[in-house]
Structure formats: structure tokens, C-alpha cells
Amino acid sequence: MKKKVGSLPVVNAGKPRAKRMSPEARHEQILNAGISAFAERGLANATHADIAERIGVSIPTIFHYFPSIENPVSYTHLTLPTNREV
């Protein structure tokens, strides 16, 4: 579908925009998707693109919240329960 913005046509790639969320909610959503991606693909193989695809956002959105793949891995370690006895 083409729209006009000023004198330039804008092409919608057919992909709906992701729902606008608070930064805190988006951060949590990305972490949960990261946990899923790491579980499926492994810590060394999961990418920003894998996480973005799972929640339907752009790859730059993931980089905005987590500039390197080590960031969500670190947060994942902090949020997952351990198997230690209490």
C-alpha cells in the first residue's frame, strides 16, 4: 500500500507496527523472548534478529535496549531461578 507524505510515496512493507509499550514492558518482553531464543538456539547462537522476530519488532529496537548480545544473556542469568537448594 502506497501513501504520500509530502511529495514522496511511502511504501508499507505489509508488516504491522509493533504495539507501543512502556520502556519497562518492552524491556521485559525482550528479556522473555531472549530466554526463549537462548533455550532454543543456545547462548552462543542466538542473535538480536532471533529475539526481534519472536516479538515482531525491528532489530534496531533490540539493539536500543541491549547494545550487545551479552546484555540479555547477563540479565537472563539474573532472572532465572537456580537449581540450588534453599
Question: Please, what are the domains in the chain?
Answer: 19-79 (1.10.10.60)
Quickly state the pLDDT bin for 20 (edges 50, 70, 90): confident
For the entire predicted model, the pTM comes to: 0.64
Is residue 55 a contact partner of residue 18, using CB atoms and an 8 Å limit? Answer: yes
Q: Please count the other Cβ atoms lying within 10 Å of the Cβ belonging to residue 5.
A: 7
Give the list of residues 6+ apart from residue 64 with CB closer than 8 angstroms, or none. none
Read off the pLDDT of residues 22-81 as tens digits, 9 standing for 90 and up: 999 999 999 899 989 989 998 889 999 999 999 999 999 999 998 887 665 666 555 555
